[in-house]
Chain A
Amino acid sequence: MPTENGATKVKDWRNYDRVLLPPIQDLHKLEVYENEYEGYEAIRSILGDSEQDPEAVTNEMKAANVRGRGGAGFNAGLKWSFMPEPDDRPRYLACNADESEPGTFKDRQLMEYNPHLLFEGILIANYAMQIDACYIYTRGEYVDWIMEMQRELDKLYDKGYLGENIFGSDFSTEIILHKGAGAYICGEETGMLESLEGKRGYPRTKPPFPAQNGLWGYPTTVNNVETLAHAVLVMRHGADWFSGIGAESHPGPTLYGISGHVERPGVYEYPTGMLITDLIDKVAGGVRGGKDLKAVVPGGASTPPLRADMIEGVTMDAESLTEAGSLMGTAGILVLDEDTDMVSWLRRVAHFFQHESCGQCTPCREGTGWIEQVLARMDEGKGRIRDLDLLLDLSNQIEGRALHRGRLHRRRRARPAGGSGGTGVSGRPIASFSRRMFSLLSAIRQTVMRKT
């Protein structure tokens, strides 16, 4: 049941009306988006309303508490407010559509079925931060939707919704579609900026953060596709409506990408804060073939997996998942059934990280491959007892060199949510990548613990 202001509480998820991916035929077309979805009304009314100055829009976003959907979960409005005052330099928005995290395929759905929601979100963000141009860095494999999106963008330029003096206002902005060449690390925000600049996608050291020193050295904000799409909803329905949906500390509608051993894998739109068990059993039709659950990876391959016995009562929001020892990540839920060979699975994940390590920093470059080789040996039945210690050691050698795991967990919890997936806390450069590696490592630990 929607509450008074129209927001859906989590427990009423069955009555939830989809807003990101509503069941409207051909919504990806501009005409349909405008006629059947009130498309471009939000930005139109902002531009026509003198009260809605850029700061007011940013504040509305801040109040809505849209937590970044790219993985790090940082309040988008707050991030927008980090942009320095406009001066005569260019400033950019970089939309992260690189989506390469294993188990994550939700942005693709938005780009395929409701791309104008993203474009309108970008217009709102660009207005709020007084930005002249947005680059959408798309995963190159999404080539069909890239071409489709370009056709729709051309329509926007033709109609004056993009370019100079949008809707006759004095607001002008551009959207440029960019196709990535297929590297996971180019989804890390500073790696993405390097790649956009035409360079090798080596993540940068942070600080400075993109807001200070972003694309070509100019102030830049990086946001995920879904995060930007939410901006339209916030401006259309208000911050209260948004923050009233789903989990209190991590509100809003969200796209759950459920994959693995379930009956009905797919992308599902629901409020945040859903019980993992509901998502598996009720939304995705339960574990495939009625099997028992072995483990769940809640937020993409780089979030720590949870054993079946660890997910009782755990909900899909940062708070609950952190409590349980994992992370919200991208809400891409991977379900593993009782027959899953965890070592084999881990080997596959390790292979991914090894293959995708950009190789900039020593521990990740050398450690990921080594870990994969040890796992391969174990997977082939040639493991030795000492391999378990070795794996733990190598994991620790990559991840910050802490010597026991309890400490690591404590620290992760203590870390303030945010930093845009960054490395700000310690200034370690490629730590963002090794931080993702951390989940792999913790998966190793858990597997090791189970096997021993």
Chain B
Amino acid sequence: MPEITVDGETITFENEEEPKLLQFCLDQGVELPHFCYHPALSIPANCRQCLVEVGTPARDRESGELERDEDGNVKINWMPELQTSCSISASDGMVVKTHRTSEKVRRGQKDNLEFLLANHPLDCPICDQAGHCPLQIQSYKYGPEGSRFEFRKIHKPKRVRLGPNVTLDAERCINCTRCTRFTEEISGSDQLTIIERGVRNYPLTAPGEEFDDPYSMNTIDICPVGALTSSDSRFQARAWEMSRTPSITTTNAKGSNCFYHVRDNLIMDVTPRPNDAVNKFWLADEDRLDYKRFNNDRPEGPQVRRKGTLQSASWEEVHEAAADLVREAGEKVLFLGSARATVEDNYLLKRLADAVDADAPRFIPHTEPGHGDGWLRTDDRTPNRQGVERLGFRPVDEKMLRSQLDAGEYAAIYVLEDDPVASGLFEAEDLKDVPIALHHYNTTNETLPVANAALPAATVVETVGTYVSEDGHAQRVRPAKEIKGTSRILTQAMGAARQDTHGTPFDKWHNDQNRVDCRPGWVSLPAVAEALDRDLSHEGPKQVMGEVAGNVDAFDGATYDAMGLAGVRLEAESDRATAA
């Protein structure tokens, strides 16, 4: 196998891919400073930061034999200039010196950073990127101590609205062209280009055009400085004030991997989490802008209808009220599962329906034809339709359901984390005489005003559970923020999941502010069951999912351990059908 020597350490590699030196070193855990290189984009080698010394073994011209010195060591021909490691391919016998061993490389890196900082505004104290800024970090690590630039810096526009979601601070731009390459090579919208020349350069759209690419906000993440900022979350929180939790987004059925950034139990930002099997490095804008519903319009605890009005109640009371309405309806309960709720909660709902001899739950599909783009947006606007379908739930037949309701076939409706009124399944009017138990996320839920027992539900950022994407990718979610009350399971899961890279005393994540009085389905459903003298008790969602994976063929292999951080691809239903 070909081998290459980096700072004296010899490493073998597969030749087929001709790895670029920079990526190769990064893969080996050798940090090489760089800005313009991005593994998903073309290689312009324009920032000139990733410098290394490169030598190749000398070969005799005639015989092709390696030349050796007196001691028998292979002679190395060093290239006279420093090379950009991002653009040079590793080849057999290559010898590389990085800043760890070469003064020349250190000098080159320092010089280049001095140039990059010459006209840089040094906005760090007010810059959203500060704290996780490659320019800031690399300047500290590899840059010069001061600057010899004693002139007025170039000034450029500091608040350019590129489009609805992205705001540019042109002064901070280091012209790496990652953003323009993203629109050219990844999203294909071609909306950004660099304008002006030389030191006045910055990215912009064509005159009169908007940067309204549905993936525009990815440029914010790949921008190595604080030039591109989220119009929505800029100046809201410093990087080190937030903790981040790996999870997935739920605005569509793609299951894109993300991080939820949290401060004081409020979600502040959503950024992509790389997963080759799902979303690579990217996230649709809609996935990032969807977080406010986790913070706003949240219920203030359970409610029960008394003398016609919804009133606050204790969790015991609401469990009793929900149990009462199920008990009274006997088997005539319409159970509605939810493509927005986790597999675990839907599974427990199914068991509850079984326990009272009601029909299996159905679910309300939420599709928006034409919304999907074959990439990270889908027509399906729910995160778990596959999950409920794999549990055997069928979508509701609106017409039939309405006539059944009119015919008095249902004496109660039990809704798990959905909104039959807002989705148009029923008119609120029609539900006046049917008692309803409702697990809901937000006070804006339009079924809430006609509910009899309202059980606030934990959202995707507050619970533990599993979702199955449109492509059959089963993925776990982890709690990013705390809810009222204590749950050993949630606390442990939260602690284990937090990839809090900062973990400083400034981290206000663990506190009592902004906790919502809500409960995961896997807490409240067994409680309702218990009030009905049925047993749905379990050891936690992990065990529930283990049970699902063990009992339901369509979930074969989907255990928590197997899903880990990257998820598992479940066998397609059609494949299983043909196999059977």
A168 in the interface (beta carbon within 8 A): no
Q: Are A365 and B199 in contact (CB under 8 A)?
A: yes
Q: Are A430 and B151 in contact (CB under 8 A)?
A: no
* Given A373-B151, A400-B81, CB of A358 within 8 Å of CB of B198: yes
Q: Are A397 and B115 in contact (CB under 8 A)?
A: yes
* CB-contacts of A342-359 with B (<8 A): 354-359
Majority-rule SS of B interface residues: loop
Give the chain A neighbours of B466 by CB distance below 8 A.
Answer: none
Instruction: Supply 18 A–B pairs (Cβ within 8 Å), ascending by A.
Output: A185-B197, A357-B198, A358-B197, A359-B198, A359-B200, A362-B46, A363-B115, A367-B115, A368-B199, A369-B154, A370-B149, A397-B111, A401-B104, A402-B81, A426-B81, A427-B87, A428-B45, A429-B44
User: How far apart sit A387 and B46, CA to CA, in the bound complex (Å)?
Assistant: 28
Chain A's nearest CB lies how many Å from the CB of B203?
A: 11
Chain B's nearest CB lies how many Å from the CB of A413?
A: 13
* CB-contacts of A365-381 with B (<8 A): 365-370, 373
Give the chain A neighbours of B133 by CB distance below 8 A.
Answer: none
| Contact for A401 among B79, B107, B118, CB less than 8 A | B107
Interface pairs A-B: 9 shortest CB-CB: A366-B115, A357-B198, A359-B201, A397-B111, A359-B198, A400-B81, A373-B151, A369-B199, A362-B48
Q: Are A363 and B112 in contact (CB under 8 A)?
A: yes
* CB-contacts of B24-68 with A (<8 A): 43-49
A353 to chain B: closest residue by CB: B198
A411 in the interface (beta carbon within 8 A): yes
A390 in the interface (beta carbon within 8 A): yes
Give the chain B neighbours of A183 by CB distance below 8 A.
Answer: 197
Q: Are B108 and A360 in contact (CB under 8 A)?
A: no
| Chain B residues within 8 Å of A, Cβ to Cβ | 43-49, 79-84, 87-88, 104, 107-108, 111-112, 114-116, 118-119, 148-149, 151, 154, 174-175, 177, 193-194, 196-201
| Contact for A427 among B48, B83, B116, B175, CB less than 8 A | B83
* Given A200-B194, A205-B43, A397-B111, CB of A366 within 8 Å of CB of B199: yes
Chain A's nearest CB lies how many Å from the CB of B22?
A: 13
A361 in the interface (beta carbon within 8 A): yes
Interface range on chain A (Cβ under 8 Å from partner): 20 to 34
Give the chain B neighbours of A426 by CB distance below 8 A.
Answer: 79-81, 83
* CB-contacts of A412-435 with B (<8 A): 426-430
B107 to chain A: closest residue by CB: A401
Chain B's nearest CB lies how many Å from the CB of A385?
A: 14
Q: Are A354 and B198 in contact (CB under 8 A)?
A: yes
A184 to chain B: closest residue by CB: B197
Q: Are B45 and A429 in contact (CB under 8 A)?
A: yes
Give the chain A neighbours of B108 by CB distance below 8 A.
Answer: 401
User: How far apart sit A176 and B198, CA to CA, in the bound complex (Å)?
Assistant: 30
Give me 5 other A-B pairs in contact (C-beta within 8 A), A200-B194, A357-B197, A359-B199 excluded.
A359-B201, A366-B116, A368-B199, A370-B118, A428-B81
Q: Are B46 and A401 in contact (CB under 8 A)?
A: no
User: How far apart sit A354 and B119, CA to CA, in the bound complex (Å)?
Assistant: 14
Give the chain A neighbours of B174 by CB distance below 8 A.
Answer: 362
Q: Are A366 and B46 in contact (CB under 8 A)?
A: no
Chain A's nearest CB lies how many Å from the CB of B263?
A: 35
User: How far apart sit A426 and B48, CA to CA, in the bound complex (Å)?
Assistant: 13
Chain A's nearest CB lies how many Å from the CB of B206?
A: 12
Give the chain B neighbours of A359 by CB distance below 8 A.
Answer: 175, 194, 196-201
Give the chain B neighbours of A360 by CB distance below 8 A.
Answer: 44, 46, 175, 177
Give the chain A neighbours of B107 by CB distance below 8 A.
Answer: 401
Q: Are A361 and B48 in contact (CB under 8 A)?
A: yes
User: How far apart sit A429 and B86, CA to CA, in the bound complex (Å)?
Assistant: 12
Give the chain B neighbours of A411 by CB distance below 8 A.
Answer: 80
Q: Are A370 and B112 in contact (CB under 8 A)?
A: no
* Given A362-B47, A397-B111, CB of A205 within 8 Å of CB of B87: yes
Give the chain A neighbours of B46 by CB distance below 8 A.
Answer: 360-362, 429-430
Which of B46, B104, B118, B174 has most chain A Cβ within 10 Å?
B46
Give the chain A neighbours of B81 by CB distance below 8 A.
Answer: 400-402, 426, 428
User: How far apart sit A363 and B44, CA to CA, in the bound complex (Å)?
Assistant: 14
* Given A366-B119, A370-B118, CB of A200 within 8 Å of CB of B193: yes
User: How far apart sit A365 and B176, CA to CA, in the bound complex (Å)?
Assistant: 12
A201 to chain B: closest residue by CB: B197
Give the chain B neighbours of A366 by CB distance below 8 A.
Answer: 115-116, 118-119, 199
Chain B's nearest CB lies how many Å from the CB of A312?
A: 31
Give the chain B neighbours of A393 by CB distance below 8 A.
Answer: 148
Give the chain A neighbours of B149 by CB distance below 8 A.
Answer: 370
| Contact for A361 among B47, B88, B194, B200, CB less than 8 A | B47
B43 to chain A: closest residue by CB: A205
User: How far apart sit A354 and B79, CA to CA, in the bound complex (Å)?
Assistant: 29
Q: Are B83 and A370 in contact (CB under 8 A)?
A: no
Which of A200, A361, A365 has most chain B Cβ within 10 Å?
A365
Give the chain A neighbours of B80 by CB distance below 8 A.
Answer: 400, 402, 411, 426
* CB-contacts of A291-320 with B (<8 A): none
User: How far apart sit A369 and B196, CA to CA, in the bound complex (Å)?
Assistant: 14
